[in-house]
Amino acid sequence: MSFEFWNTRYATEEYVFGTAPNVFLASQAHCLKPGQTALAIADGEGRNGVWLAQQGLKVHAIDFSPAALAKAGKLAAERGVEVEFEQADVLNWSWPEAAYDIVVAIFIQFVPPPERERIIEGIRRTLKPGGTLILQGYTPKQIEYGTGGPPSVANMYVEADLRRWFGDWQIEHLAEHESHISEGAHHHGMSALIDMVAVKPV
Ligand SMILES: C[S@@+](CC[C@H](N)C(=O)[O-])C[C@H]1O[C@@H](n2cnc3c(N)ncnc32)[C@H](O)[C@@H]1O
């Protein structure tokens, strides 16, 4: 989906994905330690990046939509935390090597292969050895639910994809499930989800 699509979607006072963190991310709070560095990929209106900062992490949040980033900055100010927000296209970003203790990839299924592989390579590169990736996305069954996410099966992923990309990491949690979520107007209802927590080898 294009820059115009996202920037238009965010051009409203409403936080279209809500201001509460993603439920799976919040359930992984035990993985986080104050002072750790975190990257929130395609963080949108900041609900996840701001929550990570509230847990005491030093957060770098990137997204290509200025409308989203303006709302994210407002949310951070309201919550009294600092987040380093950057307007960046993740398909054309530097992914600094071994830079972050935590990488958060929540609903970043905006491109199909082969572009998607560039994001995976970036994640693999930018996490520090011993660092943790926390990811949630939709599986192909989500097309039937139509309660959020892109309308294209090619953008979705299943366990086998995640094992192919991160099978050499320590996969601490990997599960496909169907659950009800309520994360703003655009992620609402019964949903076909996939969750993963994986640690990059030292
Ligand atoms: C489904 S939203 C999820 C936002 C956020 N992760 C959350 O869970 O609330 C997808 C996000 O990807 C961003 N995005 C799409 N393509 C992008 C790209 N090429 N570079 C950076 N951000 C992109 C959009 O602006 C949007 O904020």
| pLDDT one-digit tens code per residue, 172-182 | 999 999 999 88
Q: Are strands 170-182 and 188-199 parallel, antiparallel or unpaired?
A: antiparallel
Probe target for ligand 1 pocket from 22, 51, 64, with the most ligand atoms within 8 Å of CB: 64
Cis peptide bond N-terminal to 114, omega within 30: yes
| Residues of the chain predicted below pLDDT 70 | none
What pLDDT does residue 113 have? 94
Does residue 42 line the site of ligand 1, with CB under 6 A?
yes
Check if 187 has its Cβ closer than 6 Å to any atom of ligand 1.
Answer: no
What pLDDT was estimated at residue 120? 98
Q: In order of start, what are the domains of the chain with their CATH numbers?
A: 3-199 (3.40.50.150)
| Distance in angstroms (rounded) separating the CA atoms of residues 26 and 30 | 9
What pLDDT is recorded for position 188?
Answer: 86
Q: Which is the closest atom of ligand 1 to the Cα of 65?
A: 25
| CB-ligand 1 contact for 25 (6 Å cutoff) | no
Contacts of 20 by beta carbon, 8 Å cutoff, 6+ apart? 26, 47, 51, 183
Written as six digits, the tokens of 43 are 């963080």
Q: Which atom of ligand 1 is nearest to the CA of 148?
A: 1
Predicted confidence at residue 150, as pLDDT, reads: 87
* Model confidence, pTM: 0.97
Residue 103 Cα, ligand 1 centroid: separation in angstroms?
A: 15
Structure tokens at 20: 């509460």
Task: Give the C-alpha separation, 149 to 156, whole Å.
Answer: 9
41: Cβ below 6 Å to ligand 1? no
- Number of helices and strands (H, E) in the chain? 7, 7
Closest ligand 1 atom to Cα of 47: 9
